[in-house]
Amino acid sequence: MFSISQAAVQFVLGGAGGIAIGILVGVVVLRVHRLTRVVPAVSNTVSLLTPFASYLLAELVGASGVLAVVAAGMYAARTVPKVLGPEVRVQISATWTLVTFMLESLVFILVGLNLPYVLRALDRLPLGTLLGEAALVSACVVLVRIAWVMPSTYVFRGIGRWIRHSHEPLPAWRSILFVAWAGLRGGDSLVLALSLPLTTASGARFPARDQIVFITFCVIFITLVLQGPTLAPFARRLGVGAEEEDAAEKAHARLAAAEAGLRRLEHPEVANSPYPEVVRYLKKRHRQRARRWAARDAKPHERTPDNVEHDHITPAPSHEDAAIDERRATEYRRVRSEMLDAEQRAVLDLRDKGVIADGVMRRIQRDFDLETMLLDTSEPMSETVSEVPSEIERA
């Protein structure tokens, strides 16, 4: 017999137990990464096994495996990158990008394979009835999200401000409305629908399973195909500019980082270096970098926490000087990109002619790839590695 109280207790224990197990697995994984951080292949393997470890352990004790994976992932995302080296971080990021793409593609492939069977099983229901149910569920999904996101955002933010005694401004209603509208459905909904069992404990067919899968597929289609194209014009209509806010935050963070580096150069342990020309060279580079970001950070921010320090030691250059710095950086990217393309073709030609070995070519090509990646960032290299010693001597 079904008991509401027993189900409620199991629900709470399963959820809380899943979260606790996920955090525990995250702590263990963090310690493992500290031991394997110098071996990229092992760190990649540990990262891939983390969700399986948290899910299986939670399911073994009767807790929620899904919440365990979410908790472990959130804990690992905040702590693990701090103990990993640059090479390991780049590899793990690339690995998970590929894994995510493959898993999402697999989910939609499974839906495509199941959909013909679902349609044949729904012969007893008229197509108009099914489409009407799908439209009704889609409308409920959209409207319930709007009805929940709009008031709950301000309620919970207000409670947080009261607890922290903070005067952080509340987000603009336009941004909240856009978030409420942008509730597209995708892989998560499909996974939940396909995870329904085929039969019940008594051996009977799970009631309305095929109907649930079909409606879920229609909801995803409606939100992605019909609601998705409205996001860009709706954002323009509301005046929501995420790119501008991201650019302002990026400029502020870059300027703060550059000035932190400059302050570190003033520390006695660094300033009293036996090679003062190196310190002078680094000061020159970082002052140049700080000037560029100070020009971008001169525009006031609309949404900035009260506890962020805005006073900087680097004054913003004039408009003309800032424009010159940006044009120099753009020209450097263009010229150096053409040079790198020619250099890579020359090295490949030497490999093809048998002048150099394939391993030598790959090592040189890796250096070219890393420099090409740096060119795509906001801080391109001002000079090549071979030019650094002469620049240091002049400094």
Going from N- to C-terminal start, the domains of the chain cover 1-84, 105-239, 241-317, 329-395
Question: How confident is residue 392, by pLDDT bands cut at 50, 70 and 90?
Answer: low
What mean pLDDT comes out for the span 170-186?
A: 83
**Diameter over CA atoms, the chain:** 86
Give yes or no for residue 86 having a pLDDT over 80.
Answer: no
**Separation of alpha carbons 231 and 172, rounded Å:** 17
Contact assessment for residue 351 and residue 303, using Cβ atoms and an 8 Å cutoff = no
Query: What integer pLDDT is reported at residue 116 of this predicted model?
Result: 79
pLDDT for res 106: 85
Residue type, 58: A
Instruction: Please state, rounded to an integer, the average pLDDT across all residues of the chain.
Output: 79
28 confidence band (pLDDT: 50, 70, 90): very high
**By mean pLDDT, which of 71-75, 205-209, 231-235, 373-377 is the weakest?**
373-377
pLDDT the model gives residue 259:
78
Residue 113: the pLDDT is: 80
Indicate whether 131 pLDDT > 70.
yes
Predicted pLDDT at 24: 96
358 or 383, greater pLDDT: 358
Measured CA to CA, the distance from residue 263 to residue 266 in angstroms comes to 5
Asked if 340 and 371 touch (Cβ cutoff 8 Å), the reply is yes
User: 15: how many CB neighbours lie within 10 A of its CB?
Assistant: 15
Task: Write the pLDDT tens digit of every residue in 299-354.
Answer: 554 444 444 454 566 666 666 766 776 676 676 677 767 777 877 888 888 878 77
Provide mean pLDDT across the span 191-215: 83
What pLDDT does residue 49 have?
95
For residue 305, the model assigns a pLDDT of 45
pLDDT for the residue numbered 389: 55
253-309 residue pLDDT tens: 777 777 787 888 888 887 888 878 778 877 887 787 777 777 776 655 444 444 445
Give the 3-state secondary structure of the chain. CCCHHHHHHHHHHHHHHHHHHHHHHHHHHHHHHHHHCCCHHHHHHHHHHHHHHHHHHHHHCCCCHHHHHHHHHHHHHHHHHHHCCHHHHHHHHHHHHHHHHHHHHHHHHHHHHHHHHHHHHCCCCCHHHHHHHHHHHHHHHHHHHHHHHHHHHHHHHHHHHHHHCCCCCCCCHHHHHHHHHCCCCCHHHHHHHHCCCCECCCCCECCCHHHHHHHHHHHHHHHHHHHHHHHHHHHHHHCCCHHHHHHHHHHHHHHHHHHHHHHHHCCHHHHCCCCHHHHHHHHHHHHHHHHHHHHHCCCCCCCCCCCCCCCCCCCCCCHHHHHHHHHHHHHHHHHHHHHHHHHHHHHHHHHHCCCCCHHHHHHHHHHHHHHHHHHCCCCCCCCCHHHHHHHHHHC
* Average pLDDT over every residue of 179-204: 81
Ramachandran quadrant class, 165 (left: phi over 0; alpha: psi -120 to 50; beta: rest): left
Rounded-to-integer distance, Cα 298 and Cα 300, Å: 6
pLDDT of residue 81: 84
Is the CA virtual torsion 113, 54, 58, 75 positive or negative?
negative
Long-range Cβ contacts of 72-77 (<8 Å, 24+ apart) = 72/22, 72/23, 72/25, 72/26, 72/29, 73/22, 73/26, 74/22, 74/26, 75/22, 75/23, 75/26, 75/27, 75/30, 76/26, 76/29, 76/30, 76/47, 76/50
Q: Which two tokens stand for residue 88?
A: 């390991």
Give 92-114 pLDDT, tens digit per residue. 888 998 998 998 888 778 777 87
Mean pLDDT, rounded, for 362-370: 77
Q: In this model, does residue 243 exceed pLDDT 50?
A: yes
Across 112-130, average pLDDT? 75
54-91: b (≥16 Cβ within 10 Å) or e: bbebbeeeebbbbbbbbbbbebbeeebeeebeeebbeb
Structure-block tokens of residue 114: 């199941």
Least confident among 27-41, 68-82, 110-124: 110-124
**Predicted local confidence at residue 18, as pLDDT:** 93
Strand partners, 205: 199
Q: Is the whole model's pTM more than 0.85, yes or no?
A: no
